[in-house]
């Protein structure tokens, strides 16, 4: 058994024993560092002609010590799982900074290696609480399901093949860097997600070791739908074929507004349920003011109610939030996975079931 296979076995065992804790929001934590343009450029991009500040993922190459420190901080706060700093590391997203394939491959590979180094160091210190790495595969700034032109509903900025190829490049580099699982997150367009899933499944069909897949959708507002229009149940029906290790929701909503949608997933899914909401909704200045005590009280209730298997935080969730969430979930039994009666379940924007 390889080291990675041992880690995956340990991950699955840990998920049976307790509610696992994911890290928090990276954006706010990077902003706290007060980094300037020169920090984002580093030596590699010193002569770069464009604007690099705000491209958080490139810090994997230019300020790796900052990335390592954040992994360490979240693990110290109680996280079992930390995400790679690769949320926007596709050639499609990085085109905004005029970065190409080689830079994207390097960001993903190094992002995974940095997270792996931190996780392994913490596991060595605390072998009874192994740490794991989730390869962050974020949304794109272009959607397959929706037109960028209100006057032409059929127009698309990218093709399925474009999105597939972009995700395939990211997935291969994350795998090489040593992630324990793939986390396709903040999904606003299910078709984009399906391109990422196909990229993973094709990669594994070619002989690569299968890794757990975690799928995390985003309900964009009080409508209870993704940006591409699906309800939670329709979204699950669309991605269930991938047999994910976990499915859940993150971002856009705070815990209070997310709860009914997590309850729906807990009722209908036959896999682990994960949730990492924002620390409330942003104020007029884009700041998240919900306290660790408030967030953890709500997530602790989810844990005690048997709704979840994995908890964490998204935008605005600091290490203090993660520590409070870990404390609130401690001792709560993970949600029991149940099987629904067999039926043909389809989806468009709404679910459709034939018993």
Residues of each annotated binding site for Zn(2+): 251, 314-315
Between the alpha carbon of residue 133 and those of residues 112, 262, 275, the distances in Å are 8, 23, 17
Q: Are 295 and 324 in contact (CB under 8 A)?
A: yes
Q: State the Cα–Cα distance between residues 200 and 172, nearest whole angstrom.
A: 9
Q: State the Cα–Cα distance between residues 206 and 231, nearest whole angstrom.
A: 33
Mark the binding-site residues, compressed into ranges: 251, 314-315
Helix (H, G, I), strand (E, B) or coil at 345: strand
Using the structure block, give the residue that is written with the tokens 């999904």: 187
Between the alpha carbon of residue 150 and those of residues 10, 144, 154, 156, the distances in Å are 49, 14, 9, 11
Q: State the Cα–Cα distance between residues 256 and 258, nearest whole angstrom.
A: 6
Among residues 50, 161, 178, 45, the alpha carbon closest in space to that of 115 is found at 178
Tokens of 337: 């996975």
Q: State the Cα–Cα distance between residues 135 and 175, nearest whole angstrom.
A: 8
Please give the order of strands across the beta sheet that includes 213-217: 20-21, 310-311, 272-278, 246-254, 213-217, 181-187, 132-137, 81-83
């Amino acid at each position: 058994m390889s080291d990675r296979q041992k880690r995956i076995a340990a991950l699955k065992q840990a998920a049976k024993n307790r509610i696992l804790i994911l890290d928090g929001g990276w954006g706010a934590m990077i902003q706290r560092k007060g980094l300037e343009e020169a920090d984002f450029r580093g030596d590699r991009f010193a002569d770069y002609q464009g604007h690099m500040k705000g491209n958080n993922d490139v810090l994997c190459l230019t300020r790796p010590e900052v990335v390592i420190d954040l992994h360490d901080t979240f693990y110290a706060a109680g996280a079992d799982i930390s995400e790679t700093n690769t949320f926007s590391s596709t050639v499609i997203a990085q085109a905004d900074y005029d970065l190409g394939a080689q830079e994207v491959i390097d960001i993903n590979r190094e992002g995974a290696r940095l997270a792996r180094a931190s996780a392994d160091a913490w596991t060595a210190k605390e072998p009874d609480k192994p740490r794991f790495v989730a390869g962050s595969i974020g949304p794109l700034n272009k959607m397959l399901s929706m037109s960028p032109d209100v006057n032409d509903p059929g127009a698309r900025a990218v093709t399925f093949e474009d999105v597939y190829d972009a995700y395939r490049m990211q997935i291969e580099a994350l795998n090489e860097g040593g992630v324990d699982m793939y986390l396709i997150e903040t999904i606003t367009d299910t078709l984009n997600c399906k391109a990422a899933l196909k990229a993973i499944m094709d990669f594994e069909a070619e002989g690569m070791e299968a890794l757990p897949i975690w799928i995390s959708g985003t309900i964009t507002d009080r409508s209870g739908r993704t940006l591409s229009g699906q309800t939670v149940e329709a979204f699950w029906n669309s991605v269930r074929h991938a047999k994910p290790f976990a499915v859940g929701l993150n971002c856009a909503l705070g815990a209070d507004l997310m709860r009914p949608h997590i309850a729906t997933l807990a009722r209908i899914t036959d896999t682990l349920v994960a949730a990492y909401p924002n620390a409330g909704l942003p104020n007029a200045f884009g700041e998240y003011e919900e306290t660790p005590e408030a967030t953890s009280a709500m997530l602790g209730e989810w844990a005690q109610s048997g709704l979840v298997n994995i908890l964490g935080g998204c935008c605005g969730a600091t290490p203090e939030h993660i520590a409070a969430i870990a404390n609130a979930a401690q001792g709560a039994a993970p949600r029991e996975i149940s099987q629904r009666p067999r039926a043909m379940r389809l989806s468009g924007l709404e679910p459709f079931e034939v018993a």
